[in-house]
Amino acid sequence: MIEGKRIAVVMPAYNAAKTLAATVRELPSIVDATILVDDHSRDDTVQIARDLGLKVLIHDKNYGYGANQKTCYQAALQEGADIVIMVHPDYQYKPTLVAAMAGMISSGVYDAVLGSRILGGGALRGGMPRYKYISNRFLTAFENLFLGTKLSEYHTGFRAFSREVLEKLPLLENSDDFVFDNEMIVQAVYFGFRLGEISCPTRYFDEASSIRFGRSVRYGFGVLAATLKCFLRRLGLARFRIFDPAGRKLTGAVAESRSAAILTEASSLHTGHAGERSR
C-alpha cells in the first residue's frame, strides 16, 4: 500500500512464458495484488504465473489485447484496488517504476500516469524501430494539436490509473484490439482527468511483444479516428458512445455478464492438460 491505498498490478498476457518471471521479480513490495489475464496463450504462461503465485484468469479464447485489458481492470476493481498499474509481462518496460507511478497518483496530483519512452530519449536507446519512433512522434503531435494537450506520447503500454478513472470511463465501448490503449487515454482527456508522465527506459528484444507492421498501420488509423471523434464531440458536431457518460462501464450488470461469458478461473483447470492452453 501507499498512504493507505491498495495497489494492484495487472498483466495482460499472451505467450509470455519466456519473460514473465523476470518481470514479476522486479515488481516492488508495495504491490498488494498481481493479476494476470491470459488471452488463451499457446505456451506455458498460465502454469508459470500460477507457480509465481499470481492471481490468474483465463479467457476461453483469444479475444484481443483490448478485451484483455477490460478483464484486467475489472478484476482489479473487484479486488478492491485503489490504484491499478498495467505492466506488460514481456519485460519491455521497467517494473521497478510501479512504486513511483503509484506514488504520483496517491499524492492526489494525478488521476493517471503514463510511463513515457520518449521523455529522456529512452525509446531509440532501448532499440525502438525507427519507423515506430517516427510514427509515434507524428501521432502524438496530431493528438496534442487536436486535443489541446502536451503529452510526450500516447502510445506507451505502461500506465497507472486511479480507481475513479476505471469506474467512470465507458471502457466497454472501446475496441477489443490494440487501439483500446489510445481510446482510453483520449477518453481520460475528454472527461477531464489529470494525466502525468514519468520517463521510462524500455527494452526491445526478440522475446518482447510487438505488433506487426500491418496491425501498426491499422492502429495508426484507429488513433486518428479516436482523436477526430473527440474533437468533433467537443465541438458538438457529433456524438460517439466512447464519450458518452452513460456508456457501458466496467462495473454493473453488463460488465458482470461479460466477465462470466469469457473467463475461466485458472484454479479450476488441470494444469497438465496441454489443450487448455492452445487456440
What are the per-10-residue average pLDDT scores of the chain (279 residues)? 92 96 96 96 96 95 95 96 97 94 97 93 75 92 97 96 98 96 98 96 66 80 97 97 96 68 53 31
Burial of 61 (0-12, 13-18, 19+ CB in 10 A): exposed
Length of the chain: 279
Q: Does residue 146 sit in helix, strand or coil?
A: helix
Q: How many CB atoms lie within 10 A of CB 271?
A: 13
Q: How many CA atoms lie within 13 A of 173 on its CB side?
A: 19
Structure confidence at residue 174 (pLDDT): 97
Q: How many CA atoms lie within 13 A of 110 on its CB side?
A: 18
Q: Would you kindly state where each structural domain of the chain is located, as residue ranges?
A: 7-271
Going by their DSSP bridges, the two strands 83-86 and 159-162 should be labelled as antiparallel
Structure confidence at residue 124 (pLDDT): 72
pTM of the predicted structure, to 2 decimals: 0.89
Residue closest to 81 by CA, chosen among 236, 237, 251: 251
What's the fold here for domain 7-271? Spore Coat Polysaccharide Biosynthesis Protein SpsA; Chain A (3.90.550)
Structure confidence at residue 266 (pLDDT): 44
Structure confidence at residue 255 (pLDDT): 65
The edge-to-edge listing of strands for the beta sheet with 55-59 is 195-199, 112-116, 159-162, 83-86, 7-13, 33-38, 55-59, 263-265
Q: Does residue 43 sit in helix, strand or coil?
A: coil
Structure confidence at residue 270 (pLDDT): 34
